C-alpha cells in the first residue's frame, strides 16, 4: 500500500494532466499543421469544438471515477462491467497511444538542443527512414531524458508529482512572457491581411482540427490511471480534469495565434519551427531562450505524464494476467519497477526509428483514444443511474464513433494517411492474434454482475 502522505494533491494532479496535454505538439503544430490547414480562426473553432467534445465525454469519466475502479482507468472500468475481452481491446489501443507519446516527446528534445547550439547533435549518422536522417547524437539526448524520468518515477508517484509541478510552473511563466512580448512587437496589419480579411469558414479544415483533438488531449485521462494515488475527492478530480482540458485548449489557441502573428500560412509551413523562428527574429536571443525553456518543459512534462499513465495501465493489465504478472510487482516505493523499465526501454528503442515513423504511429493515437472513449461512454450510458449520466453517455458514444469515422473514412477530410493506416491495421491484427491466444484457454472473463 502507498502511504496516504505520499499521495498526490490537487496541484500535482493538475500538473500531471496539463503536462500530458501540453506536449511538443502545442509548439510545433501551429507552423507544421494548424496555420497551413485551417489558419487561425478555423483552428480556434476546431479546437473549441474538439475540446467541448472531450468535456462532454469527460462526464462519462466522472461516472467511471465514482465506481471505485482500480488503477488502469478505462481498462479497469471496462473489465469491471464487460469482462476481460473487452477490457483487452481498450488496453491494447491505449497501450500503443501512451507508449508512442513518450518517444515522440523525447525526440523533440534534440530539436531544443539543436536550436540553442545549431547542429551540435548531428553527428554519428546512422541511416535515413522515410526521408528522416537518424543521428546518434540526437538518440543519445532522447535516451538521456527518458532515463532521467525513469529514475524519477522509480522513487514514487509523489516525487513525480512534485517534479511535474515545478516543470509546469516554468512552462506557464515562459508562455506568459512570450505572449506579452509577441503582442508588444507584432505586426497586426500583416496578421489581418493573412488571417482576418481573407477569412472563410471551411468545414473540412475545422473537421481536420476536431479529428486531432483526441491525440492532443489524450492526457486528460491521467486521473483515472492515478485513482489510487490521489488525495482529493473523485468529484474534485473530475473538475481538475476539465480545468486542465480548458487550460490546454487555451495554450494551443494562444500559441497558434502567436505563430500567425509572425508568419503567413505558406511561410510557417516552410519552416522547421515557425514559432521559434518568429520569436528569435522579433524578440531576440533572450526571448528565444525563454521559448526554448517552455518547449523543454512541455517535452519533459509530456514524457513524465505519459510514463505515469503507461506504468499504471500496464500494471493494471498485468494484475489481470493479460500481460506478464512480473509487471505488477512493486518496489519499496510502491511503484511497478519492471513496468517502468519496460516503458523506458520501449521508448528508447522507438527513438531509433526516427521522428517520421514515430509521428505515423502517433497519428493512430486519436483512433485508440476514440476506442477508449467509446467504451467508457457506452458503459456509462447503460449502467448510469441518473438520467443525465445516460444522456451524456449516449452523446459521448455518438461523438466517439464520429471521431473514429472521421479518421477512417476515405471521403473524410481528416482521414489518416496511408502509413498510419498500415500501422493501425498491423497493430489491430497483432492484437487480434494475441487476444485469440490469450483467451483460448478457459478462464473467468465474465463481467461484474450489477
All residues at 6 or more sequence positions from 440 whose CB lies less than 8 Å from its CB, including other chains: none
Name the pTM for this structure.
0.84
Q: Is residue 123 part of a domain?
A: yes
What is the torsional sign of CA 280, 283, 287, 291? negative
Which of the residues in the chain have pLDDT under 70?
1-6, 156-160, 333, 441-450
Query: Terminal CA-to-CA distance of the chain, rounded, Å?
Result: 28
pLDDT for the residue numbered 156: 67
DSSP 3-state of 134? strand
Please give the tally of structural domains in the chain.
1
Pairing of strands 132-135, 125-129: antiparallel
Q: Is residue 315 part of a domain?
A: no
Q: Is residue 419 part of a domain?
A: yes
In DSSP terms, which residues pair with 129 in a beta bridge?
132
Q: Is residue 2 part of a domain?
A: no
Phi, psi of 294 (to 5 degrees): -65, -45
pLDDT for the residue numbered 435: 87
pLDDT for the residue numbered 159: 66
104-142 tens-digit pLDDT:
888 888 877 887 788 899 899 999 988 889 999 999 999
Residue position matching grid coordinates 466517439: 400
Provide the residue range defining the domain that includes 43. Answer: 11-309+342-438
pLDDT for the residue numbered 379: 95
CATH number at residue 57: 1.20.1740.10
pLDDT for the residue numbered 157: 63
Q: Is residue 446 part of a domain?
A: no
Q: Is residue 376 part of a domain?
A: yes
pLDDT for the residue numbered 450: 47
Amino acid at each position: 500500500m502507498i502511504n496516504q502522505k505520499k499521495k498526490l494533491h490537487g496541484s500535482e494532479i493538475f500538473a500531471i494532466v496539463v503536462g500530458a496535454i501540453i506536449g511538443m505538439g502545442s509548439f510545433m503544430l501551429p507552423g507544421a499543421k494548424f496555420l497551413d490547414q485551417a489558419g487561425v480562426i478555423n483552428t480556434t473553432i476546431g479546437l473549441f469544438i474538439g475540446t467541448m467534445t472531450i468535456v462532454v465525454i469527460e462526464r462519462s469519466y466522472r461516472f467511471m471515477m465514482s465506481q471505485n475502479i482500480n488503477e488502469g482507468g478505462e481498462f479497469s472500468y471496462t473489465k469491471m462491467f464487460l469482462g476481460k475481452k473487452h477490457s483487452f481491446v481498450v488496453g491494447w489501443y491505449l497501450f500503443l497511444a501512451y507508449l508512442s507519446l513518450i518517444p515522440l516527446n523525447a525526440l523533440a528534445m534534440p530539436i531544443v538542443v539543436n536550436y540553442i547550439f545549431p547542429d551540435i547533435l548531428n553527428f554519428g549518422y546512422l541511416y535515413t527512414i522515410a526521408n528522416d536522417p537518424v543521428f546518434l547524437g540526437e538518440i543519445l539526448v532522447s535516451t538521456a531524458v527518458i532515463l532521467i524520468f525513469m529514475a524519477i518515477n522509480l522513487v514514487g508517484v509523489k516525487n513525480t508529482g512534485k517534479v511535474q509541478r515545478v516543470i509546469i510552473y516554468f512552462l506557464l511563466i515562459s508562455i506568459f512572457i512570450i505572449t506579452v512580448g509577441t503582442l508588444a512587437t507584432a505586426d497586426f496589419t500583416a496578421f489581418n491581411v493573412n488571417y482576418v480579411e481573407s477569412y472563410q469558414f471551411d468545414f473540412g479544415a475545422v473537421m481536420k482540427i476536431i479529428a486531432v483533438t483526441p491525440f492532443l488531449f489524450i492526457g486528460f485521462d491521467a486521473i483515472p490511471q492515478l485513482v489510487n494515488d490521489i488525495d482529493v475527492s473523485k468529484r474534485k478530480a473530475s473538475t481538475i480534469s476539465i480545468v486542465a482540458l480548458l487550460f490546454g485548449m487555451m495554450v494551443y489557441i494562444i500559441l497558434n495565434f502567436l505563430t500567425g502573428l509572425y508568419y503567413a500560412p505558406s511561410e510557417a509551413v516552410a519552416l522547421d519551427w515557425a514559432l521559434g523562428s518568429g520569436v528569435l527574429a522579433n524578440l531576440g536571443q533572450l526571448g528565444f531562450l525563454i521559448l526554448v525553456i517552455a518547449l523543454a518543459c512541455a517535452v519533459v512534462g509530456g514524457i513524465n505524464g505519459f510514463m505515469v499513465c503507461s506504468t499504471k495501465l500496464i500494471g493494471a493489465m498485468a494484475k489481470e494476467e493479460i500481460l506478464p504478472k512480473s509487471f505488477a510487482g512493486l518496489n519499496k516505493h510502491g511503484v511497478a519497477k519492471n513496468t517502468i523499465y519496460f516503458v523506458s526501454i520501449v521508448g528508447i528503442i522507438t527513438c531509433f526509428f526516427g521522428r517520421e515513423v514515430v509521428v505515423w504511429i502517433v497519428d493512430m493515437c486519436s483512433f485508440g483514444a476514440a476506442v477508449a472513449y467509446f467504451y467508457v461512454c457506452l458503459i456509462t450510458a447503460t449502467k448510469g443511474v441518473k438520467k443525465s449520466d445516460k444522456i451524456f453517455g449516449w452523446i459521448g458514444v455518438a461523438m466517439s464513433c464520429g471521431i473514429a469515422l472521421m479518421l477512417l473514412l476515405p471521403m473524410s477530410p481528416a482521414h489518416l494517411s496511408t502509413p498510419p493506416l498500415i500501422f493501425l491495421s498491423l497493430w489491430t491484427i497483432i492484437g487480434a492474434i494475441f487476444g485469440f491466444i490469450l483467451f483460448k484457454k478457459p478462464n473467468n472473463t465474465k463481467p461484474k454482475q450489477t
